[in-house]
Amino acid sequence: MGISAMVGTPIKRREDPRLITGQATYVDDMKLLGMYHMAILRSPYGHARIVSINTDAAKALPGVIKIYTAEDLRGKVGNVVVAVPLGRIAEGMGIRGALAEGKVRFYGDPVAAVIADDAYTARDALDLIDIEYEPLPAAIDIEKAMQPGAALLYEEFGTNVAMSSHPPTDEMDKIFEQTVADGGIVVKQRIVNQRVAPVPMETRGVIAEYRKSDKSLTVWSSTQIPHLLRNFLAATLSLPQHQVRVITPEVGGGFGCKLNYYPEEMVAAFAAMQTGHPVKWIEDRSENLAVTVHGRDQLDYIEVAARKDGRVTGLKVHGISDMGAYCQLFTNVIMIAFGFPVSCGSYDIPVHLSFDVVFTNKAPTDAYRGAGRPEATYVSERAMDLVAFNLGLDPAEVRRINFVQPDQFPYKSSAGAVYDTGNYEPALDKALQIIDYKNLRAEQARKRAEGKLMGIGISSYIEICGFGPKGTAPVGLYESARVRVEHSGTVMVYTGASPHGQGEETTFAQIVAEEFSIPVENVMIMHGDTDSTPEGRGTYGSRTTAVGGAALFNAVQKLKEKMKLIASHILEASPSDVELEDGKFSVAGSPQKSVSFNDVALTANFSNTLAPGIEPGLETTVFFEPEACVFPFGTYVCSVEIDKETGETKVTRFVAVDDCGRQLNPMIVQGQIHGGIAQGIGQAMWEGVEYSEDGQLLTSTFMDYAMPIAEEFPQFELDHTVTLTTVNPLGVKGVGEAGTIGSTPAIAAAVADALGVAHVDMPFRAEKMWKIIHQQKG
């Protein structure tokens, strides 16, 4: 990299002018001529047999165009796509069609779709559809769902368990026995990582338009994965791939839940094909909370063995993942593919992993910011705290003694992952220093003496991101960039990544401006249209900069080489002597001999006198598939105070030291961390999707689902260390999920510390805290 002019600079976002003036276009802001509206009738039961469906009255309502049930889709619309069908899922367990057939398996399961000429009429018609249900017992509690005699979602399989692995524990048992024999300890704990809802502020939405004359389907969707969606639509609607186009307009947040293929996208597209009219569907918030994938919902039984000095000798984890009612894109592998690889966290410890992946009568779970990694990190961090608690050691020192050391990288963990680069202790030290750990502990001692409940929590997380390396996923998880330098010297970039709030139009422009040494204003970043952007995998898993940014960097280098060649002819010099600096190509050693970037662009695009062998134009498409994943890390330290009278917990300090490699735009990096921390604290403190025993959703509006608000947070205090990766040419790791991964365990540790107990399950709502405090008193 050259002298950093743009990269590393906190320039203001180029996305913002349209967003702060109300001029941005989200899906719901679009109107097409002759557009119909779709509304979905959903199951009011958690589990029930569909006895009959009568749509006559609804069909008779003026303005209603069509009503679809599963019967109308049979043989015409395929199933929801599962990326990695393993275990019984490969035999068809948990595979869903677009509309429920025969049975409904969770509250909100779609049963019928109404197409009407306006949105209010479509909703009115839902009330006129008469469905007779035979309610069935529901499997809600995951452990009960695994027991014989549990209500079965898929009777033909005789179980709710879709996938299992229980490898022998002999070797780990020996380690545990030896540890105890040597005077160490073994601690067991059951840990619940509760179900939460991703809740982007823009719900999902889709508009599908079908042109019968040339059989082409265009779908505007609020999705993180335009290319995958196009491929899924083509496959499930039996359309040629090149006749399907997906456009993502402005997307109002995703957090993983828009990294999926949803029934409503399929039905809207089908309806557009059938009616010849554009069809729009906009999810309302209650639907969003009921049917858009949830996150987490993992139960872990852990056993950790440690020497008296806190050195962990072994960790056993039995993970039970609650899939909900159906297998969506990654539902079945969130825990085992994204979580388990980082089970050892930032520690050099042996781990033994076993699992069950189970269906229940709840909404499907899938990716939610962090996807598996927050759950795994929660386990490894709770393990460190359990060791510290039981041995009476400082949790900071227990972490320190177990860290993977700088000279061990690249480090292969016992969970099988190869960590690229890392240096964990400086991040821990910096966090402790910022929060003034020693004085904070002294303050805690004083407050305890006054009878107050104050706790301090630490989390030294790692994450795995930048998916994904060759050969590790069922399909290549590359990213792409098409770059065109126009005759005026301005640059068009078409990326396969698909941002939805991350600010890539800014950071990607910074990469180009830096490498071409041109003003950032001269670069335009285009994304989210499968007709114009090269095939890409979308934006998720903190991968956009590490994978998509790397593709862009390489594409720019390729064009720079060609421009140097053209410049060398103009300058009558050897191409290897030509340098690009300050927007000018010049000959090394004689800077007075130069030609501007713009003139070379003009020559390449317009001249008819290019040297023999040089193709006109300046455009290239580059794909980048990393050789390995990247492993950002950091340490978070926080303090909490719990009011004994009310049980209310307040986060009083929150220090975050992150290391995501090179930071292209520190302002955007910090914004990502802020948001991630808020979501992680949200889970720890308040959030939780809840169902009754018979499968009724109890958290279906923001009146019941606790969305964090401004006054509940302290100022987050951020700092960073920089450990570059060698996996990509930018040295960047990824930061989108770090905050969520690291913050939840820090809060959990602080709350347990305040209460003086080994462990409390989240969320730490006032009622639960009050009960614990009063039980302690009693």
Partner 1 sequence: MTMKRAITVTVNGQQYSSEVEPRLLLVHYLRDVLDLTGTHVGCNTSQCGACVVHLNGEAVKSCTILAVQADGCEVTTIEGLAPEGSLHPIQEGFWEKHGLQCGFCTPGMIMASYQLLKNNPNPTEAEIRKGLEGNICRCTGYQNIVKAVQYAAEHMQTSATEPVGAGE
- Asked if 668 touches partner 1 (CB under 8 A), the answer is yes
- Cα dihedral across residues 115, 121, 122, 128: positive or negative: negative
- Cα separation of the two ends of the chain: 64
SS3 call for 157: helix
CA–centroid distance for 753 within its chain: 30
> What per-residue string of b and e applies to 625-638 under the rule 16 or more CB within 10 Å gives b?
bbebbbbbbbbbbb
Longest dimension (CA), the chain: 92
461 binds partner 1 (CB under 8 A): no
Query: Which residue of 94, 110, 184, 252 would you call a contact of partner 1, by CB under 8 A?
Result: 252
Of 714-753, binders to partner 1 (CB under 8 A) are 715-716, 739
Selected binder of partner 1 within 6, 15, 163, 547 (CB under 8 A):
15
Q: Is there binding between residue 199 and partner 1 (CB under 8 A)?
A: yes
Among 4, 25, 238, 776, indicate the residue that binds partner 1 (CB under 8 A): 25
Beta bridge partners, 461, equal 634
Task: Output the CA–CA distances (angstroms, integers) from residue 19 to 29, 145, 301, 744, in the order listed.
Answer: 13, 46, 45, 30
Q: Which stretch binds partner 1 (CB under 8 A): 411-419, 496-504, 575-583, 617-625?
A: 496-504
Nearer to partner 1, 250 or 356 (CB): 250
Note whether 671 binds partner 1 by CB under 8 A: yes
φ/ψ (deg, to 5) at 653 = -135, 150
**Helix ranges, 1-158 (H):** 16-20, 56-60, 70-73, 119-126, 142-145
Kind plus residue range of the DSSP H or E element containing 596: strand 590-596
Q: Is 11 exposed, middle or buried (0-12, 13-18, 19+ CB in 10 A)?
A: middle
Instruction: Please pick, from the candidates 400, 569, 674, 765, the single residue that binds partner 1 as defined by CB under 8 A.
Output: 674
Q: Kindly report the CA angle at 377 between 373 and 382, in degrees rounded to 5?
A: 155
Q: How far apart are CA 27 and CA 250, in angstroms?
A: 7
Q: Which is nearer to partner 1, 16 or 134 (CB)?
A: 16
Residue (360 or 649) nearer to partner 1, CB: 649
Note whether 505 binds partner 1 by CB under 8 A.
no
Residue among 301, 409, 623, 713 that touches partner 1 (CB under 8 A) = 713
Tokens read off for 316:
């056993």
Binders of partner 1 in range 28-47 (CB under 8 A):
28-29, 31
Q: Does 703 engage in binding with partner 1 (CB under 8 A)?
A: yes
> How near is the Cβ of 710 to partner 1 at its closest, in Å?
4
Q: Does 503 bind partner 1 (CB under 8 A)?
A: yes
Q: Is 687 in the site for partner 1 (CB under 8 A)?
A: no
Is residue 679 within the footprint of partner 1 (CB under 8 A)? yes
* Cβ 249 to partner 1 shortest distance, Å: 11
The DSSP bridge partners found for residue 634 are 461, 658
Count the alpha carbons within 13 Å of 145 in the hemisphere toward its beta carbon.
29
Helix/strand/coil percent split, the chain, to 5: 35, 25, 40
Stretch that binds partner 1, among 83-91, 108-116, 247-255, 318-326 (CB under 8 A): 247-255
What would the x/- binding string for partner 1 be over residues 202 to 231, using CB under 8 A? xx----------------------------
Nearer Cβ to partner 1 (290/379): 290
Q: Please tell me whether residue 94 binds partner 1 under the rule CB under 8 A.
A: no
Nearer to partner 1, 526 or 565 (CB): 526
Does residue 3 interact with partner 1 by CB under 8 A?
no
Please pick, from the candidates 180, 588, 709, 757, the single residue that binds partner 1 as defined by CB under 8 A. Answer: 709
Rule CB under 8 A: is residue 670 a binding residue for partner 1? yes
How many residues bind to partner 1 according to rule CB under 8 A? Answer: 59
- State how far the Cα of 696 lies from the Cα of 106, in Å rounded to an integer: 8
Under rule CB under 8 A, residue 8 binds partner 1: no
Looking at 6, 7, 13, 737, which residue binds partner 1 (CB under 8 A)? 13
Q: Look up tokens 């599963």; give the residue.
A: 70
- The reply on whether position 707 binds partner 1 by CB under 8 A is yes
With beta carbons less than 8 A apart as the criterion, state whether 594 and 586 touch: yes
Measure the CA–CA gap between 505 and 522, rounded to whole angstroms. 12
Region 259-298 residues binding partner 1, contact defined as CB under 8 A: 284-286
Q: Return the range that interacts with partner 1 (CB under 8 A); candidates 207-215, 415-423, 495-503, 725-733.
A: 495-503
Q: To the nearest whole angstrom, how small is the minimum distance from the Cβ of residue 431 to partner 1?
A: 18
Nearest to 317 by CA among 330, 299, 334: 299
DSSP code string of 531-583 = TTSPP---S-TT-IIIIIIHHHHHHHHHHHHHHHHHHHHHHTS-GGGEEEETT
If one asks whether residue 256 binds partner 1 (CB under 8 A), the answer comes out as no
> Which run of H or of E encompasses 506?
helix 504-516
User: Rounded CA gap, 424 and 659, in Å?
Assistant: 9
**Strands 36-42, 64-69: parallel, antiparallel or unpaired by DSSP?**
unpaired
From the list 95-103, 457-465, 466-474, 497-505, the region that binds partner 1 by CB under 8 A is 497-505
Taking the least distance from each CB to partner 1, the nearer of 26 and 770 is 26
Q: Is 59 in the site for partner 1 (CB under 8 A)?
A: no
Is position 667 an interface residue for partner 1 (rule: CB under 8 A)? yes
Among positions 155, 214, 615, 711, the unique one binding partner 1 when judged by CB under 8 A: 711
The 3 state secondary structure assigned to 687-733 is CCCCECCCCCECCCCCCCCCCCCHHHCCCEEEEECCCCCCCCCCCEC
Shortest distance, position 678 Cβ to partner 1, whole Å: 3
Contact 197, 705 (CB under 8 A): yes
Residue with Cβ nearer partner 1 (109 or 250): 250
Q: Measure the CA–CA gap between 453 and 443, rounded to whole angstroms.
A: 11
Q: Does 250 bind partner 1 (CB under 8 A)?
A: yes
Q: Which residues bind partner 1 (CB under 8 A)?
A: 12-13, 15-26, 28-29, 31, 62, 120, 199-203, 250-253, 255, 284-286, 500-503, 667-668, 670-672, 674-679, 701-703, 707-711, 713, 715-716, 739
